[in-house]
Amino acid sequence: MSSFNGLQAFETPEYLAARIDRLGGPESYNHYAVGWAHAMNTPYQWAKQVASHWGGTRNGTIVSWPEGIAAKGEIRTQFTHVIDVVPTILEAAGLPHPVAVDGIPQDPIEGVSMLYAFDHPAAPERHETQYFEMLCNRGIYHKDWTAVTKHRTPWAPMNAPVPPFDQDVWELYAPDDWTQAHDLAKEKPEKLRELQRLWLIEAGRYKVLPLDDRMLERLNPDTAGRPVLVRGKTQLLFGGMGRLSENCVLNMKNRSHAVTALIVVPDAGAEGVIIAQGGNFGGWCLYANDGKRKYCYNWSGFRHFMLESDRAIPAGTHQVRMEFTYDGGGLGKGGTVALFIDG
């Protein structure tokens, strides 16, 4: 997670070398190294984060339906996108697309069923146009042509500057060029313009616009300008709630906050987690350790800041509280933590 938080500089070669035997195990959160990731995308130019090009996204799909498909072991070459899976299943099952679920109107499903090709290998392609956009890397597929542009280099640091959108360089690839190896942008500027226009139309139609190439800010709904699921200044959680994603929990980052828990402690003394958010690569938790209250802030897996109470929590019903007073002055600053019991 360190690279997602702009902290990749802390993963020095020495830091990684000291942990080499743990890479790939439960204590690591590793991605492929860039070199290997790039090599494994061969023959394509980029990895899947660069949605404009086919690396990581142009994949074979195996469809098996012994009772529904007469063909066995055959290959279909009609363009199909992952969004086509649901409409395919609905058509195969003879079900209509849902227009409302529990009274909530649904957006139309945007895919195209691929059922038509199962029994007709030479059927004309039905999914003729597909836009792509991820992190402002953009592309369009239209009748076997592709026009694409990479906006951001995948391994560049999160806070690295990116070019203005109108300085992105577009490439054009012909129908016979499935590896996107021969750029025809200079030879066929009219075709490129046609596809660029089509990308813009599709992007408008499917709510891709406005493009937003900020990175760290987009992770946080407050700075991204995204609606949040939790409103207000407080949130009450109950025992048994779990696996709540970050967007479902009050955002307490980069600000003063407090956590107050009502607990019942057995006679033997308290032990275990009262509440935790995140994991071993970042998060915080309030727990009982040897009967005492303890708070741990895990800073992206690099450091653990801990505070433990002097006294154990007595048996019975008690209220334990953690207060984090933020130092302020921007994002990612420190703070002072205090623990309380019954007041």
Partner 1 sequence: MIFSADDGCDVGEDSGAPVSPDYPAGANRFNGTVKGVELAIAEAAENADHLVDPREVVRLALARQ
Q: Closest separation between CB of residue 205 and partner 1, Å?
A: 29
Q: Which residues contact 175 (CB under 8 A, 6 or more apart)?
A: 143, 144, 145
Q: Closest separation between CB of residue 109 and partner 1, Å?
A: 26
Tokens matching residue 25: 């195990």
Q: Closest separation between CB of residue 1 and partner 1, Å?
A: 6
Q: How many Å apart are CA 298 and CA 23, to the nearest integer? A: 19
Amino acid present at 34: V
Q: Which residues contact 44 (CB under 8 A, 6 or more apart)?
A: 53, 54, 55, 56, 58, 179, 180
Judged by beta carbon, residue 139 or residue 282, the one nearer partner 1 is 282
Q: Which residues contact 337 (CB under 8 A, 6 or more apart)?
A: 295, 297, 305, 307, 322, 323, 324, 325
Q: Closest separation between CB of residue 213 and partner 1, Å?
A: 18
Judged by beta carbon, residue 99 or residue 236, the one nearer partner 1 is 236
Q: Closest separation between CB of residue 282 and partner 1, Å?
A: 4
Judged by beta carbon, residue 8 or residue 129, the one nearer partner 1 is 8
Judged by beta carbon, residue 69 or residue 134, the one nearer partner 1 is 134
Q: Which residues contact 50 (CB under 8 A, 6 or more apart)?
A: 134, 137, 150, 152, 154
Q: Closest separation between CB of residue 239 and partner 1, Å?
A: 4
Q: Closest separation between CB of residue 198 and partner 1, Å?
A: 33
Judged by beta carbon, residue 90 or residue 224, the one nearer partner 1 is 224
Judged by beta carbon, residue 90 or residue 296, the one nearer partner 1 is 296
Burial class from Cβ neighbours inside 10 Å (0-12, 13-18, 19+) for residue 261 reads middle
Q: Closest separation between CB of residue 224 and partner 1, Å?
A: 12
Q: How many Å apart are CA 274 and CA 242, to the nearest integer? A: 11
- What is the distance between the terminal CA atoms of the chain, rounded to a whole angstrom? 36
Judged by beta carbon, residue 90 or residue 237, the one nearer partner 1 is 237
Helix (H) or strand (E) holding 292: strand 292-299
* CA neighbor of 196 nearest in space, from 154, 144, 142, 152: 142
Judged by beta carbon, residue 209 or residue 341, the one nearer partner 1 is 341
